């Protein structure tokens, strides 16, 4: 028996060593999460306007056109509870404004219950959060296909390719103008993904989590004399027309209650139906392209000054 155990250990050691080395190399490849964490570790004390949120902000706010020292810390599928965790992690010595999304999906969506919940591992690995107990969510190589990880390592370590699709200030650059997509078609597809059974236990739980997160963000702001801006990003007319009015009203009621309770701290910038944006400003039904992002950034930053 001892000999068998010894043989098993001899066999397992090189396998474990290879896996550990592969994981180390995979985590060493720069990505949007590690870059954002590195930037905030070094520069959070200089940030005046912090943009948080999901892909609407990630592709909608370009700090290169900002009038303040701004940073876009949002990302695809980033829910409000994760925004609150990011806000809590760093030191904000010069922070004046926190901008968070007030969108159709905001209150009923969390990354942990989403189709792309595999992204949780990025917050655990690169922001050093501790979300959940699933060991897979603390590794790169066991998330997704192993051959894809090998391709990433080949691209970075051998081909010297850097596949970063965001600017140094956190803006997502993938959605360029002109869009190759049908805006009306993608609007209908997006609204289908974003409309939930808001009476179900799962989405009521998400609502509770996000409401608590928003209250904590506002509480932080109130304590530190920082303004909170609720940003309703532009969406296409087709997207807005197909919103479930009960879900939208339930979501906006949370923000409206905070506006009434903290009128000196909270403000709402609502661009959902803004006539300033046309279909040429969108990449798809609910995301701006780079031209639309430039327009939205300038609008928001000018309103901050006023």
Contact between 270 and 166 (Cβ < 8 Å): no
- Does 161 have pLDDT greater than 90? no
Structure tokens at 35: 């870059």
At residue 193 the predicted structure's pLDDT band, cuts being 50, 70 and 90, is: very high
Residue tagged 């901050």 (tokens): 304
Predicted confidence at residue 8, as pLDDT, reads: 56
Among the residue ranges 13-17, 229-233, 264-268, the one predicted with the least confidence is 13-17
- Does 21 have pLDDT greater than 90? no
Predicted confidence at residue 182, as pLDDT, reads: 97
Predicted confidence at residue 246, as pLDDT, reads: 97
CB neighbours of residue 61 within 10 Å:
30
Nearest to 75 by CA among 220, 172, 218: 172
At residue 293 the predicted structure's pLDDT band, cuts being 50, 70 and 90, is: very high
Give the dihedral sign, CA 39/232/132/91. positive
For 140-160, what is the mean pLDDT? 85
pLDDT digits (tens, 9 = 90+) for 52-67: 999 999 999 999 999 9
Q: CA–CA separation, 67 vs 51, rounded Å?
A: 13
Catalogue the E-assigned strands of the chain: 49-51, 70-72, 97-101, 227-232, 266-270, 282-284, 287-288
Q: For the whole model, what pTM was predicted?
A: 0.93
At residue 45 the predicted structure's pLDDT band, cuts being 50, 70 and 90, is: very high
Provide the H-helix boundaries in 231-272. Answer: 237-241, 245-261
**Omega cis (within 30) before 178:** yes
**What is residue 276's DSSP assignment?**
T
């Amino acid at each position: 028996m001892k000999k068998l155990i010894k043989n098993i250990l001899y066999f397992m050691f090189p396998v474990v060593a290879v896996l550990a080395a592969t994981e180390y190399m995979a985590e060493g490849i720069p990505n949007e999460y590690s870059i954002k964490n590195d930037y905030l570790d070094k520069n959070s004390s200089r940030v005046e306007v912090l943009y948080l949120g999901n892909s609407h902000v990630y592709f909608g706010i370009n700090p290169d056109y900002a009038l303040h020292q701004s940073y876009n810390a949002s990302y695809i599928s980033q829910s409000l509870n994760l925004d609150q965790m990011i806000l809590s992690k760093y030191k904000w010595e010069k922070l004046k404004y926190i901008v968070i999304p007030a969108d159709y999906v905001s209150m009923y969506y969390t990354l942990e219950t989403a189709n792309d919940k595999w992204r949780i591992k990025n917050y655990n690995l690169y922001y050093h959060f501790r979300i959940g107990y699933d060991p897979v969510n603390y590794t790169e190589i066991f998330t997704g296909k192993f051959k894809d990880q090998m391709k990433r390592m080949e691209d970075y370590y051998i081909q010297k390719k850097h596949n970063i699709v965001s600017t140094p200030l956190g803006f997502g650059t993938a959605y360029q103008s002109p869009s190759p997509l049908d805006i009306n078609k993608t609007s209908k597809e997006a609204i289908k993904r974003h409309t939930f059974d808001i009476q179900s236990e799962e989405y009521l739980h998400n609502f509770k989590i996000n409401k608590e997160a928003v209250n904590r963000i506002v509480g932080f702001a109130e304590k530190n004399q920082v303004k909170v801006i609720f940003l309703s990003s532009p969406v296409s007319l087709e997207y807005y027309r197909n919103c479930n009015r009960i879900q939208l009203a339930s979501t906006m009621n949370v923000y409206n209650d905070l506006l009434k309770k903290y009128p000196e701290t909270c403000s709402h910038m609502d661009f959902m139906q803004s006539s300033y944006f046309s279909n040429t400003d969108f990449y798809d039904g609910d995301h701006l392209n780079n031209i639309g992002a430039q327009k939205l950034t300038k609008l928001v930053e000018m309103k901050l000054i006023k």
